[in-house]
Structure 1
Amino acid sequence: MNIDIITVNKNSGYQFKKTKENILSILETESRVSWLIIDSKSSDISSIILSSISPSNNIRIVKAVDSGIYNAMNKAIEITKSDYALFINSGDTINIDAFRLALLKLKIIRTSLICGYRLENNNLLNNLINYLQNLLGLSMPSSHNSIIYEVKALKRHKFKERYLCAADYEQYLALKKSNHRFVYSKRFKITNINANGFIAKNKIKSYIEYIDINYLYQYHIVSQYWQYRLFILKLLKRFNSKIIAQ
């Protein structure tokens, strides 16, 4: 059993450097792990950082223009020949002990997807909200960058590129509908996520897509939950803008 860590990068600057150092340290000790980098022809400092990485048997670098993060991730899915894949965005880091534990679990049970959960820069409120959402079944069991996917499942159910923020959620529901087995454990704190990433900066768009996707899959009650969250978020943004104006 082998696994590709997949990182898509576009002008992520020193965020990419943090991820690079973390993954290279994992490659030193994990012979089953490879790193696949999809770079959208970056023009910032991350292009210099990328040039410092020497391609090898367990590191592949692909430079190609993409139409968005999910387009780049789909390109990686087409390229990878590993059994499993873990998507790690620029700025994210892997918790090595939890990662090893997840790999051991995979070796024993051979499931389609194994889900850990993520820590968002030690933000206790975000982590509590995420935990409650998972408990109530109101969202994914974890974000895509804390899920180890079976590559065969990914190749059958790629990310829908019409979604800018929530294609991973649509994919999760598609996999669930196709009876793929998920194993979820809060023991697997696989990823420390960069809380300032693209989706974090586009919460309103993300919630709108969640509403659309839930209606598509006939989850009307869940859609109402995301409509409520969207309403609260818009109120908070309006209130915050008034404070700044004063």
Structure 2
Amino acid sequence: MGLKFSVVTVVYNAEAAISKTMESVLAQTYKPYEYIIIDGKSTDNSLQIISQFKSKFEEKGIELKIISEKDTGIYNAMNKGIKYAAGDFISFLNAGDWYEKDALQNINALYQKESFDLTYGGLHYINPNGTITNKMSKDDSKGIVTSRHWNHPSMFLKTELYKKYGFNEKFRAYADFDLYLKMRKKGVKICVSDNIITNFVADGVSTNTNMKKVLGRAKEKYRAYRGNGYSALYWFESYGWEVFKAIYFSIRS
């Protein structure tokens, strides 16, 4: 029995990018059960563009749910997506990002070989200057747990777990990593995919190189570690990685 995937895209004023994201969902070799758009009351043409896709999703037999209302931030919008999801697994695909054509097929095939509660795969990381870096996922079950080996844009988590725990909206940049750490501590079964799943465009909060923002993200990441029972030594991973990213994006911009 194949998996039912709920794919969720959070949108706010993404008229230049949303079509590519939606086309990649339509192009999947293994179609999702449903596609959920959470729009934060966009003031551009995002909603009009999204609405033009309704017939295409109907033809493919994919339920398209469109919710447009104000939110208090990206994780608030993501939690709304979780609320509306009815599939077996949820994946978040940001507006502007896109799936590889066989993304869902590969995740389903992996599950048929070895069932899991959570999985994540590799990314094509689209740098600000347009170059592409492959960011492959790794199994952190032995050794240091780090966001360097994990990719939220390619993560699939059981819907029942997303609904039970959701995202902590007190975080601005690392609620997704906080949830991942929580799942590890809960002992859910994790299986890592060797495939490239998502094409991720590096922009937004996580790539801001302003030092105040960099240190704020590092502090938040460290809070996620400590809140989930990890050692104070993870201070070095938290701050070191954020500073490294800031240097990296300064070079790649």
Distance 1:71 1:110, change over 3 A: same
Partner of 1:163: 171
Distance 1:139 1:233, change over 3 A: closer
1:19–1:92 CA contact under 8 A, matched in 2 = yes
Partner of 1:184: 192
In the TM superposition, what is the alpha-carbon distance from 1:99 to its structure 2 partner?
A: 3.0
Q: Which whole-Å CA distance do the structure 2 matches of 1:183 and 1:108 have between them?
A: 11
Partner of 2:231: 219
Please state which structure has a larger fraction of its residues in helix: 1
1:115–1:141 CA contact under 8 A, matched in 2 = no
Gapped runs of 5+ residues in structure 1? 241-246
- Correspondence 1:64 to 2:66: no
Distance 1:86 1:230, change over 3 A: closer
Residues 214-234 of structure 1, C-alpha deviations (whole Å, 9 max, x = no match): 222233222222223445667
Partner of 2:38: 38
Partner of 1:200: 207
Q: What letter matches 1:184 in structure 2?
A: V
TM-score by length of 1: 0.83
Q: Which stretch shows the higher mean deviation, 199-208 or 15-24?
A: 199-208
Residues 138-169 of structure 1, C-alpha deviations (whole Å, 9 max, x = no match): 22642221011110111111100000100001
Q: Which whole-Å CA distance do the structure 2 matches of 1:144 and 1:154 have between them?
A: 13
In the TM superposition, what is the alpha-carbon distance from 1:81 to its structure 2 partner?
A: 1.1
Tell me which stretches of 4 or more aligned residues in structure 1 moved more than 4 Å.
130-136, 230-234
1:84–1:148 CA contact under 8 A, matched in 2 = yes
2:225–2:231 CA contact under 8 A, matched in 1 = yes
How big is the alpha-carbon RMSD for the aligned residues of Structure 1 and Structure 2? 2.7
Q: What letter matches 1:60 in structure 2?
A: K
Residues 27-49 of structure 1, C-alpha deviations (whole Å, 9 max, x = no match): xx534532111111111132221
In the TM superposition, what is the alpha-carbon distance from 1:123 to its structure 2 partner?
A: 3.4
Distance 1:89 1:162, change over 3 A: same
Q: What letter matches 1:198 in structure 2?
A: V
The match for 1:88 among 76, 86, 93 is 93
Q: Which stretch shows the higher mean deviation, 1-10 or 191-200?
A: 191-200
1:117–1:141 CA contact under 8 A, matched in 2 = no
Distance 1:230 1:19, change over 3 A: closer
Aligned length: 232
Q: Which whole-Å CA distance do the structure 2 matches of 1:219 and 1:140 have between them?
A: 18
Identity in percent = 25
Partner of 1:244: none
Q: Which whole-Å CA distance do the structure 2 matches of 1:127 and 1:148 have between them?
A: 17
SS at match of 1:116: strand
Q: What letter matches 2:135 in structure 1?
A: N
Q: What letter matches 2:234 in structure 1?
A: V
Q: Which whole-Å CA distance do the structure 2 matches of 1:133 and 1:218 have between them?
A: 14
**Matched ranges for 1:1-246 at <5 A:** 1-26=3-28, 29-54=29-54, 56=58, 58-121=63-126, 122-124=131-133, 127=135, 136-139=144-147, 141-185=149-193, 187-201=194-208, 204=214, 205-216=216-227, 217-230=229-242, 236=247
